[in-house]
């Protein structure tokens, strides 16, 4: 008879081989509260093709935060959502969900229930083997890719998982849409836009998923970057997004960016405020309105009524602090940038930056902070030397990103002009960084 210790060791070994959130090294855990807020803004409207995945990830986050009963409830909701979407009681889309439940019950000390879910996973794998021998089931690849996107995983890894899923099961429209959106996100800071082959993939994905406003907005943005006139299509998308359920997946923010860049920031504000009037309790729309006012202050202000607009923007962002208790790093930087423009709040800007500089951040987050703080020092504190030092700090972090490249380019510009008192230091730094 197998000893209890050996049996438990085998069960643990089996669970460690499961494909589920508990085994995917979802780091950093320091962002879980922010991620929980972000997932709430997606919404849970009927028909959302990612609803099961959303509940699975929410359940895992609640477990990590110590809310076991909430986790159990959300994992159950995930199973129900898959049932509604797939019109079937069981299928390979439940592999991740059952794996999560096996781990949750194990941690709760209910080994019998944990073992029951392991048996369900085993039955699913036998009844629904992967179409490609030696590979995971496409349903697992797709959910893993979607989940890793939220943890800022390597884009190549995410793309590879989506491509494997799509290759084995090409009829899943939402997989292809999310894959294309992920590919485009790598070019979001590019003025030239995406390459022609990716633009063609976007066009094809848009034809497959014609109701996806977010994808349509990204496609228009890329066409506009290549010189196309897209104003009429932008107005059509605006009407469409106003009729859509409120969600961060609705495309509202992407449409507002189109307004800002190709129509006017004032009309972007009007659109966001119109949406908020129709849904006054939706915090996501309040964030959209606040963002539009910040755009006007930082990028478009001509000095007319500037203080009243600035006060409005600051009021909106301060309101968001209570609505999003775990404000993301970028939103805190946004608020600091507004404080810095106000004669009444400059000390608050410095206070926010110092708190962020003292915070234990991930390297990628430090890079974002150092880059923005460098610009703040230069433009708002008139501290040119301090600005250069923080651009160096951003550039020396190994993480490849827009912010690293931006700081390096600025340092190169200063070096080439040859007038800054730190020119020699910059030259030596850039030579070392090559």
What is the tens place of the pLDDT at every residue in 87-108? Answer: 998 999 999 999 999 999 999 9
CB atoms within 10 A of CB 195: 11
Is residue 24 pLDDT above 80, yes or no? yes
Task: Give dist(CA 158, CA 144) in Å, integer.
Answer: 8
- Under the banding of pLDDT at 50, 70 and 90, the label for residue 344 is confident
What is the reported pTM? 0.91
- Which residues make Cβ contacts (< 8 Å) with residue 96, sequence separation at least 6? 19, 20, 21, 56, 139, 140, 143, 144
Radius of gyration of the chain (CA): 24
Asked if residue 286 lies in contact with residue 320, where contact means CB atoms within 8 angstroms, the answer is yes
Task: Kindly state the average pLDDT of the residues 314-330.
Answer: 91
Asked if residue 334 lies in contact with residue 353, where contact means CB atoms within 8 angstroms, the answer is no
Asked if residue 412 lies in contact with residue 420, where contact means CB atoms within 8 angstroms, the answer is no
Distances (CA, A) of 401 to 81, 201, 366, 371, 406: 36, 24, 12, 11, 9
Distances (CA, A) of 388 to 394, 417, 421: 10, 14, 10
CATH number of 4-128+135-141: 1.25.40.10
- Under the banding of pLDDT at 50, 70 and 90, the label for residue 7 is low
Chain position carrying tokens 């690293």? 404
Distances (CA, A) of 41 to 241, 338, 365: 15, 24, 22
What is the tens place of the pLDDT at every residue in 197-223? Answer: 999 999 999 999 999 999 999 999 999
Burial of 292 (0-12, 13-18, 19+ CB in 10 A): buried
Asked if residue 62 lies in contact with residue 96, where contact means CB atoms within 8 angstroms, the answer is no
What residues does each domain of the chain span?
A: 4-128+135-141, 265-357
The pLDDT of residue 408: 97
Is residue 25 pLDDT above 60, yes or no? yes
Identify the sign of the CA torsion 310, 311, 315, 321: positive
């Amino acid at each position: 008879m197998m000893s209890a210790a050996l049996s438990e060791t085998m069960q643990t070994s089996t669970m460690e081989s499961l494909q589920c959130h508990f085994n995917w090294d979802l780091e950093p855990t320091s962002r879980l509260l922010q991620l929980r807020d972000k997932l709430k803004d997606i919404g849970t409207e009927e028909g959302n093709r990612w609803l099961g995945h959303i509940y699975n990830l929410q359940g895992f986050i609640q477990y990590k935060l110590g809310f076991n009963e909430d986790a159990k409830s959300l994992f159950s909701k995930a199973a129900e959502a898959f049932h509604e979407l797939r019109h079937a009681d069981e299928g390979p889309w439940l592999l991740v969900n059952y794996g999560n439940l096996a781990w949750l019950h194990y941690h709760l000390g209910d080994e019998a229930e944990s073992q029951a879910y392991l048996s369900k996973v085993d039955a699913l794998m036998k009844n629904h083997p992967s179409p490609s021998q030696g590979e995971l089931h496409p349903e697992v690849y797709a959910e893993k890719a979607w989940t890793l996107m939220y943890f800022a995983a390597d884009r190549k890894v995410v793309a590879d998982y989506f491509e494997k899923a799509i290759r084995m099961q090409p009829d899943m429209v939402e997989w292809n849409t999310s894959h294309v959106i992920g590919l485009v996100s790598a070019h979001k800071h590019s003025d030239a836009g995406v390459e022609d082959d990716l633009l063609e993939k976007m066009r094809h994905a848009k034809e497959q998923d014609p109701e996806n406003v977010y994808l349509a907005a990204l496609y228009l943005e890329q066409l506009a970057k290549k010189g196309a006139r897209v104003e009429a299509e932008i107005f059509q998308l605006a009407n469409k997004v106003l009729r859509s359920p409120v969600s961060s997946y609705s495309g509202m923010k992407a449409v507002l960016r189109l307004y800002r860049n190709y129509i006017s920031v004032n009309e972007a504000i009007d659109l966001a405020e119109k949406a908020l009037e129709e849904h006054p309790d939706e915090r996501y729309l309040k964030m959209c309105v606040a963002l539009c006012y910040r755009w006007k202050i930082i990028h478009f202000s001509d000095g007319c009524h500037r203080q009243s607009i600035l006060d409005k923007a600051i009021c909106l962002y301060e309101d968001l602090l209570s609505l999003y208790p775990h404000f993301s790093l970028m939103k805190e930087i946004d608020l600091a940038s507004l404080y810095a423009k106000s004669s009444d709040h400059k000390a608050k800007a410095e206070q926010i930056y110092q708190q962020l500089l003292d915070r234990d951040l991930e390297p990628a987050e430090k890079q974002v902070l150092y880059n923005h703080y460098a610009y703040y020092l230069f433009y708002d504190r008139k501290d040119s030397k301090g600005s250069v030092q923080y651009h160096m700090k951003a550039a020396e972090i190994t993480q490849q990103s827009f912010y690293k490249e931006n700081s390096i380019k600025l340092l190169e510009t200063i070096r080439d002009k040859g007038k800054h008192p730190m020119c020699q230091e910059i030259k030596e730094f850039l030579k070392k960084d090559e």
